[in-house]
Amino acid sequence: MIGAPFSFYIAFLGLLGGFAFGFVARRSAFCTLGAIEETYYGAERSRLRTWLLAIGVALIGTQSLHFAGVIDLSKSFYLEPHYRLLGSIVGGLLFGMGMALVGTCAFGMLVRAGGGDMKALVSVMILAIVSYVTANGVLAYVGLYIIIPSNIAISGSSSSSVAELLFGPSRVAQLVVVAVLSLGSIGWALSSPRFLKNTWGVVAGFVIGGVIIYGWWVTGTIGQSGFEPVQFESYRFARPMGDTLIYLMTFSGAAITFPIGGVVGVMLGAFVASLFAGTFKFEAFDDAREMKRHFGGAALMGMGSIFALGCTIGQGMSGISTLSVNAFVTMFTIVVSAWLGIRYLVEGEIPSFSQTISRFFKR
């Protein structure tokens, strides 16, 4: 590593965090789609509790770094003063439906691929290609002429933070919002004696949340100390899959970044975890129908992640840890779309709102 470019060191730090992310996700069966499915169809809430524990930890840690002056979240692209309603909703709907078709999210595909799932590996490549085409290729015109022009500037505010939009630029109000959201999610997650016995689920929640904090710290401190400061961000995976593919193919003609290191790290972490657990095995598509479903789902996620500026991790964790209102809208839309997709695939119908509420409260 001696004499390597500064960006290489940053990518290596991204790889280290990604490794921890992938390792605990594989050992704990962490999966956003799994959390949605379990919550709707059964009484089990372990994966939902892990997810909420992770976001609670990420939120309180990220905001603590901001309040301490270690990082400046106002420089994050998540908090640009615009409502990205069309991008968040359309992107979220596409991404959520893609999740249902594939059976996991973009991050989940990396974890599965690290465990030997060739279906996931092929889906990762499809998502990478489509996301890159949507961001930089012919489909970029959709974003340029439809999605971006629909953004609504937020008047009288320099941020799209939920706290600032609700209470203005008040540090006290922001502290209250952070405390309510983070402690509420952590408290609910840890309130279940059954979940507390799920050692890997609890560990995963703290580690994943900690990795998101780590990402902000690396890019916000070390990443700004070089001659060419890197983009201030934490972990995200959908768009960086395309960047990773381009980097692997061109190498000398492309720059390596923190998110690229994260993509590679997740796969390595999942690979090592599967070896330790003895679960590594190669898997292939069962038939052409399954292959088409994965191809279509991965393509939808690739396109949706660009329109929404993120995925279940990029917006659902890194974005929410900044209190971005667009991140909350995107994640809500992804969850609703994924749930509708699951319901349609499993039961062959889209439920009405009254059916949904009735079923939820009867359990």
The closest alpha carbon to 102, from 353, 299, 363, belongs to 299
The closest alpha carbon to 316, from 30, 20, 16, belongs to 30
First-to-final CA distance of the chain: 55
User: What pLDDT is stored for residue 40 in this prediction?
Assistant: 81
pLDDT averages per 10-residue partition of the chain, 363 residues: 77 98 96 89 85 97 96 95 95 96 95 96 96 94 93 89 90 93 96 94 97 98 86 95 93 86 98 96 92 96 96 96 97 95 80 56 52
User: What pLDDT is stored for residue 5 in this prediction?
Assistant: 82
User: What pLDDT is stored for residue 183 in this prediction?
Assistant: 96
Contact 345, 100 (CB under 8 A): yes
User: What pLDDT is stored for residue 353 in this prediction?
Assistant: 54
Between CA 276 and CA 160, with CA 186 as vertex, the angle to 5 degrees is 110
The closest alpha carbon to 305, from 259, 340, 270, 268, belongs to 259
User: What pLDDT is stored for residue 362 in this prediction?
Assistant: 55
For residue 283, the cross-strand partners are 117
